[in-house]
Structure 1
Amino acid sequence: MANSKYEYVRLFEQPDALLPNTWIVVRIDGRGFHKFSKKYDFEKPNDRRAVDLMNAAARGVMQELHDLVLAYGVSDEFSFVFHPSTTLFERRESKLVSTIVSTFTSYYVFSWGKYFEGVDLAPPLPTFDGRAVCYPSVGNLRDYLSWRQVDCHINNLYNTTFWNLVQKGGMNTTDAEKELAGTVSADKNEILFSRFGINYNNELDVWKKGSVLFREVGLSTEPSTAVPVPVTKTAINKDAKLKKKAQVIIMHTDVIKDEFWQRRPWILSGKAGNLLT
């Protein structure tokens, strides 16, 4: 770029690189989605079309950004996880957040017609905001994902009970809110079973546990060494090609217990070795 007397304005740009050697989580949330879901008559308590659309948009993001190792979503939010080793966009917060938000929104709008067939989008259009948080350890990262999954369960149990009281119990929304005020999980389970014959444990995992997206690859079999080995350009290109070819899997499973992570050690290690077939 040619120099000019106006170039000094670049000095006002502030560096925003995120902490090195930390897990980066970019969480996006729908803006005004309560009104949005009402406008397009989303089914209550859950709309499979809406969830599948969110998952499709998240998959698109993971296919575009190969540095992502995992994504977790529920309702109108999704969390995207970068490994501590990522150097994408030099770890600049503004670039990471804006790229994920814009890519997710683009895929959401692009895929709308596939999941809401015959329903045209009109302003106000769906939009999302985002934020980035750094977590220094695997334990912190797993606690974050556990927090989001616990919230998924709590909110879904409430919504399932609430909407059954309204749709099947004949209550209005105000009375349903009063009925559930101060109740705990056991109370809501009892209401569902005794009044509506619903065993909450039999509800679909997609509603109770949310959606987990990751790449189906195997763990690297290369021997580890105590001395850090410089990463070559060839190795970086090989890893990029592997991630590009790897299938992005969507599961509705428990991420709080150890089993999910023990069966997929490459997610946390960041050392993908081969495609799984």
Structure 2
Amino acid sequence: MANSQYEYVKQFEQPDRLLPNTWIVIRIDGRGFTKFASKYGFEKPNDRRALELMNAAARAVMSELPDITIAYGVSDEYSFVFHKSCSLFDRRSSKLVSTIVSTFTAYYVHFWPSHFPNTPLSPPLPSFDGRAVCYPTVQNLQDYMSWRQVDCHINNLYNTTFWALIQQGGMDATEAEKKLKGTLAADKNEILFSQFGINYNNEPEMYKKGSVVFRDYEPVDPGTHNATAEVDNMARPVQQSKTQAENDKKKRAKAPIVVEHISIINRDFWDRRPWLLSNKPGKIPKEP
């Protein structure tokens, strides 16, 4: 590029590189989604169509970006995790965030007609914002994921009870909020069951646990490895040969990307899927 008198403006650009050898989480949230949900008549407390649309967009993002190892979504938010050893992408915060946000938003709009066929989009269109956070250890990453899933449960139990009081109990929002102020989980469960015959344990798992998206390989026996220790003991990312990197890329492309509604707080989830921590593709499941 030729030099010009205007090139001095490049001096205003500041570095925003993320820490090396850390787990990078890009978390996106819907912008103004309370009004957006109201505009399009999302069902309360949960709209399955809207949640499945979020999941479809997340799967598409993972399909396009093989460096993402796992994602977790609830309501209008999604967290995408890049493995700490991954060195094949630009580690600039602005680059990663803008890539995830723009790709997710594009697929959200693209898949909208499939989930809301009778409700065409109109301005203001859906949009998302995002942030990047680095986590140095496996425990930090797992605690982050656990935090989001616990938050899902707490919010869903509250919202399920809140909307039951309004939709079936005839209360307005102020009365429902007052009724629930200071209540514990057991209190909300009792209100649901005694007043409305709702057993919270029977609510759909997607509402209670959120959605976990990952490439699926054959599960392994937890006693055959210690992926956590291996990853945390890495002082620097493992350098792969070009051939090995290409082979891993092909394996990831062949692995099915699944959406599960299961506990990620339980260590068993991670122990049976060591590839999530090791970043080494597993054995492709056999066709049923």
Give percent identity, aligned residues only: 66
Report matched runs for 1:170-185 at 5 Å: 170-185=170-185
Q: Partners in 1 of 2:282 and 2:175 — Cα distance? A: 56
Q: Partners in 2 of 1:72 and 1:178 — Cα distance? A: 32
Report matched runs for 1:38-49 at 5 Å: 38-49=38-49
The one-letter code matched in structure 2 to 1:38 is: S
Report matched runs for 1:260-271 at 5 Å: 260-271=269-280
Q: Partners in 2 of 1:229 and 1:126 — Cα distance? A: 40
Q: Which residue of 1 aligns with 2:18?
A: 18
- SS of 1:213's equivalent in the other structure is strand
Q: Which residue of 2 aligns with 1:56?
A: 56
Q: Which moved more, 1:245-254 or 1:11-20?
A: 11-20
Tell me if structure 2 keeps the 8 A contact 1:219–1:272.
Answer: no
Q: Which residue of 1 aligns with 2:7?
A: 7
User: Judging changes above 3 Å, is the alpha-carbon distance between structure 1 residues 5 and 202 closer, same or farther for their aligned structure 2 residues?
Assistant: same
Unaligned runs of 5+ in 2: 225-229
Q: Which residue of 1 aligns with 2:210?
A: 210
User: Judging changes above 3 Å, is the alpha-carbon distance between structure 1 residues 175 and 21 closer, same or farther for their aligned structure 2 residues?
Assistant: same
- SS of 1:264's equivalent in the other structure is coil
Tell me if structure 2 keeps the 8 A contact 1:142–1:256.
Answer: yes
Q: Partners in 2 of 1:164 and 1:156 — Cα distance? A: 12
User: Residue deviations 1:190-234, cap 9 Å, x none?
Assistant: 00000011111111110000000000135899xx9x999641111
User: Judging changes above 3 Å, is the alpha-carbon distance between structure 1 residues 119 and 234 closer, same or farther for their aligned structure 2 residues?
Assistant: same
User: Residue deviations 1:60-97, cap 9 Å, x none?
Assistant: 11001000000000000000000001224431111100
User: Judging changes above 3 Å, is the alpha-carbon distance between structure 1 residues 230 and 78 closer, same or farther for their aligned structure 2 residues?
Assistant: closer
The one-letter code matched in structure 1 to 2:56 is: A
Tell me by how many angstroms 1:128 deviates: 0.4
User: Judging changes above 3 Å, is the alpha-carbon distance between structure 1 residues 64 and 43 closer, same or farther for their aligned structure 2 residues?
Assistant: same
Q: Partners in 2 of 1:196 and 1:268 — Cα distance? A: 43
Using the size of structure 2 for normalisation, the TM-score is 0.91
Q: Which residue of 2 aligns with 1:244?
A: 253
- SS of 2:49's equivalent in the other structure is helix
Unaligned runs of 5+ in 1: none
Using the size of structure 1 for normalisation, the TM-score is 0.94
Tell me if structure 1 keeps the 8 A contact 2:85–2:238.
Answer: no
Is 1:125 the equivalent of 2:125?
Answer: yes
Count residues with an aligned counterpart.
274
CA-based RMSD of the aligned residues comes to 1.9
Report matched runs for 1:1-277 at 5 Å: 1-217=1-217, 230-277=239-286
User: Residue deviations 1:94-142, cap 9 Å, x none?
Assistant: 1100000000000000000000011110111111000000000000000
